[in-house]
């Protein structure tokens, strides 16, 4: 079988995202497999695994909006900003109210500066921060811009509260809870996290990891076109398919504004995704950016 597509897996708690990919990899070998956005072992929910040449679309999936439900414990701090590490007392939390939390939430909306957790996959000097921290080395992480589209207090049961979050790529929900806890003066750590969606992939349409075998995986594979369904489309004839596979530009012929210089999906006669090109507005030509192989 020629494996190429995306599978939306509901990651269980207690295992790494890499372990989920390994389970898929065993079923599709020798095709490749890779996930589009890490979930920590504590977290559950949507983990999109790309199979075959669809792994070339990982960056497109990662750039999509994500929705989470996160639960946080007041009055605690930890080096990981969650309950998966040794916690220390943060401060008195008994006077914190739901109204106080709600009043702070607007300060975290929009594009904000966020410092990732010290125990994270962020690279510092070419090394993962968590590896440096676990070796006892000092880790100085710089704030970076992330975008929070919406933030809602869903539940408040002291000492825990729950947030509904919609955010952009690179956002650490652990850090969001940590910073909110600091603003409240008592600290907070993440105690639970579920990713509800990544772009078009939702939890309600995910499959359980324990249910996967070769047959169910093949049935659950989503065509690569679903990832870029909102982009302008350009159908190619056989000659043009050969050209773009060789990295050559082709004429545009797409129905969009003459000044449009964004991405365009390239399709064959069966409306199967061949790749993605960038349209140069000045020449109205399409330059290949991502090309999917015909075989894994």
Burial of 94 (0-12, 13-18, 19+ CB in 10 A): exposed
Looking at residue 13, the DSSP 8-state letter turns out to be T
Between CA 247 and CA 243 the distance in angstroms is 6
Task: Tell me the C-alpha distance between 49 and 243, whole Å.
Answer: 29
**Phi (first) and psi of residue 50, to 5 degrees:** -95, 140
> Which member of 40, 81, 82, 179 is catalytic?
40
HEC states along 78-139?
CCCCECCCCCEECCCCCCCCHHHHHHHHHHHCEEEEECCCCCCCCEECCEEHHHHHHCCCCC
Cα torsion 267, 268, 270, 272: sign: negative
Catalytic residue list contains 40: yes
Q: What angle do CA 175, 35, 203 make, to 5 degrees?
A: 75
Supply the residues annotated as catalytic: 40
């Amino acid at each position: 079988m020629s494996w190429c597509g995306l599978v939306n897996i509901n990651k269980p708690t207690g295992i790494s995202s890499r372990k989920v990919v390994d389970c898929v990899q065993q079923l599709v070998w020798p095709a490749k497999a890779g996930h589009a956005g890490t979930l920590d072992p504590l977290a559950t929910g949507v983990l999109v695994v790309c199979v075959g040449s669809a792994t070339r679309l990982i960056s497109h999936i990662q750039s999509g909006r994500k929705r989470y439900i996160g639960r946080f414990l007041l009055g605690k701090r930890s080096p990981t900003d969650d309950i998966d590490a040794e916690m220390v007392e943060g401060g008195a939390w008994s006077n914190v109210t739901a109204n106080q939390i709600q009043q702070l939430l607007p300060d975290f909306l929009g594009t904000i500066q966020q410092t990732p957790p010290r125990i994270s996959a962020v690279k510092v000097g070419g090394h993962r921060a968590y590896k440096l921290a676990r070796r006892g080395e000092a880790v100085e992480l710089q704030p970076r811009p992330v975008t929070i589209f919406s933030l809602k207090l869903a539940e408040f049961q002291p000492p825990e509260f729950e947030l509904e979050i919609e955010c952009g790529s690179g956002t650490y929900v652990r850090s969001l809870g940590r910073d909110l806890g600091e603003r409240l003066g008592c600290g907070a750590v993440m105690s639970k996290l579920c990713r509800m969606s990544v772009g078009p992939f939702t939890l309600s349409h995910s499959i359980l990891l324990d249910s996967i075998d070769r047959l169910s995986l093949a049935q659950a594979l989503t065509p690569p076109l679903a990832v870029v369904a909102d982009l302008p489309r350009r159908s190619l004839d056989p000659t043009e398919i050969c050209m773009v596979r060789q990295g050559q530009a082709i004429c545009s012929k797409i129905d969009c504004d003459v000044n449009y210089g964004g991405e365009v999906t390239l399709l064959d006669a069966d409306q199967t995704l061949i790749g993605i090109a960038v349209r140069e507005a000045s020449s109205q030509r399409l330059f290949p950016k991502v090309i999917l192989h015909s075989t894994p």
